[in-house]
Structure 1
Amino acid sequence: MKIGFYQYRPQFGRIKANLNKVLKKLEGIDADLIVLPELAFSGYYFSDRSEALSLAEDPGNSATVNALTELCSRNDFHLVTGFTERADDKVYNSALLIGPDGIEHIYRKLHLFNEEKFWFDAGDIPLSVQEVRGARIGIMVCFDWVFPEVARTLALQGADIICQPANLVLTYCQQTMLTRSLENRVFSVTCNRFGADKRPQGELKFTGRSQLVAPNGDRLESAPPQREALVIMDIDPAQAHEKHITKHNDVLADRRPEFYRTLIEH
């Protein structure tokens, strides 16, 4: 299976320009699954909730989604992309799984980072796994990395590959995702943006360094911190079916959930 990421620098508020950049870059690419950054077309650093709503789109009636679907159809691949989603009077930091026939799944970010709590509604769609060409795909978004329960839940649901659109400003995630892959024995694809959003309220700088990680925790590919990068590589998703970390230790089967009740009681 050919999977990868496209790391780039979205321009704040310029949805059409950002979309055209993606369409041009990915046209003709030989891949099965490509991950794009968080909030890939709107930009990230909103001044307030009303601005986020003004740049959000209903995925069921979106020129952006239509163009991405056509891209997937022409090139016979799937995308996981960050998306500023509007649903009536709510706005979500979402990720869409799009294939040649359109949207196959929507995930709404469960764990909002810092000022995102002022702009977005918290995600309300349960974690789940989707199938893409025989591989099982789980989705998380950026700050979800802080919560190991997210990756573990996806692994328990059978994920082979965890796709993570991101707009990372902290420096810990890329290293932590090596552990998330290892402790769950899954592939992970973190697609981060680079550059900065310079807004009236301040500036946020993003760290780049998108990566693809193997189930043994090895970093297979990594992008530079401040440069565009398109990476596609061959993997065997079946490697994620082997959950043994030693001959006698299976990272899922050896769990003792009867001793983890505090996780759901507090």
Structure 2
Amino acid sequence: MLRLALVQERARFNDPVANLAAGIDACLRARAAGADLVVFPELWQIGYAACPAEPQRRTTWLGRAEPVDGSWVTAFRELAASTETAVAITFLRRTDADPANATAVIGCDGTLALVQDKVHLCDFTWEAVLRPGERFRTAAVHTRAGPVDIGVMTCFDREFPESARALALDGAELILSPNACLICDDRLGQLRARAFENMLAVAMVNYPRPFMNGRSAVFDGIASLANRPRDHQVLASDARPMLRVADLDLDGLRRYRADGLWSHARRRPDAYRNLVGPGPAGEGQP
């Protein structure tokens, strides 16, 4: 079993110092609850605070971006190693251009296994100032429950089926989905569908009220058992601040994937060629 802890709690706007302390506290509480992997909502470092339009304040906001080898990620790497607990922590990542909306997935030995930048930015909002990720990648992450192949799709990434399929084709067994949005039934349905159609687990964590509306959820992806449909939602949260824990049967999932109907071997890639094109009549192109 892999025990996940989802930190459906508030972070302070533009206060990385306070959010570091709160994040460490959440990890320690999760470890006490037996968690193998702790997952945070989107941009926990700054509490998903919007980039200001006023130039001086915007400069200050941009200055909060942290390099991957900076103090923010390093603190969680040290914590992961000392507690033997894997962590998926979210932060504003400094790049050689615009900052990125990033998730660092850290193994229980402190190894930085994966840094994933949000690919589908909400560029109709303040996220237009960010640099989008270029591709989805999966990494083997060491946990006390053994290695797990993990990928990340951040918030709006969830709304494009190609995100989860790309991760599945790259070998993901578990997709983590840090969020900062209002979760409705349709968005939960997206998560259920991504888990179902790709035969993998999906864990989504969101901010609680009053900032967002919680509803953090886990789907274990085992959608049938003994040839009968099965409800594979193993965790459903309300809107309150809370640390939620869910167990994933990794061995059961791996058996299911080996024998399942929706295996990659049954795909027909030649029939899907238009999926990698720009869209109807050049949609989405300049």
Q: TM-score, normalised by structure 1?
A: 0.87
Residue 110 of structure 1: which of 98, 119, 122 is its match? 119
The whole-number CA distance in structure 2 between the counterparts of 1:14 and 1:119 is: 20
Match of 2:91 among 83, 86, 91: 83
State the one-letter code of the partner of 1:139. V
How far the C-alpha of 1:87 sits from its partner, in A, is 1.4
In 2, are the aligned partners of 1:39 and 1:93 still within 8 Å (CA)?
yes
Which of 43, 47, 50 is the aligned partner of 2:47? Answer: 43
C-alpha separation between the residues in 1 aligned to 2:234 and 2:96?
A: 41
Compared CA separation, residues 98 and 244, structure 1 to 2 (3 A): closer
Contact 1:174-1:210 at 8 Å conserved across structures: no
- Give the alignment's Cα RMSD to 1 decimal: 2.1
Q: CA deviation at 1:255?
A: 1.4
Q: Which residue of 2 aligns with 1:59?
A: 68
Q: Identify unmatched segments of 5+ residues in structure 2.
A: 224-230, 279-286
Alpha-carbon distance between aligned partners in 2 of 1:143 and 1:116, rounded to the nearest angstrom: 14
In the other structure, the counterpart of 1:202 is none
Preserved CA contact (<8 Å) 2:183 2:214:
no
1:16 is paired with a residue of what secondary structure? helix
Larger fraction in strand: 1
Q: Which one of 31, 38, 44 corresponds to residue 34 of structure 1?
A: 38
**What one-letter code is carried by the residue in structure 2 that aligns with 1:47?**
P
1:134 and 2:171 are equivalent in the alignment: no
* Whole-angstrom distance in 2 between the partners of 1:93 and 1:237: 29
Q: Which has the higher mean CA deviation after the structures are superposed, 252-261 or 232-241? A: 232-241
> Amino acid of the residue matched to residue 46 of structure 1?
C
3-state secondary structure, aligned to 1:193: coil
Which has the bigger relative contact order, CA under 8 A and spacing at least 6? 1
From 150, 169, 178, the equivalent of 1:165 is 178
Aligned equivalent of 1:200: none
5+ residue gaps, structure 1, are 197-204
How many percent identity over aligned positions?
28
- Asked whether the equivalents of residues 33 and 80 of structure 1 are also in contact (C-alpha less than 8 Å), the reply is yes
Q: For this pair of structures, how many residues does the alignment match?
A: 254
Cα–Cα, structure 1 residues 259 and 52, in superposed 2: closer, same or farther, change >3 Å? farther
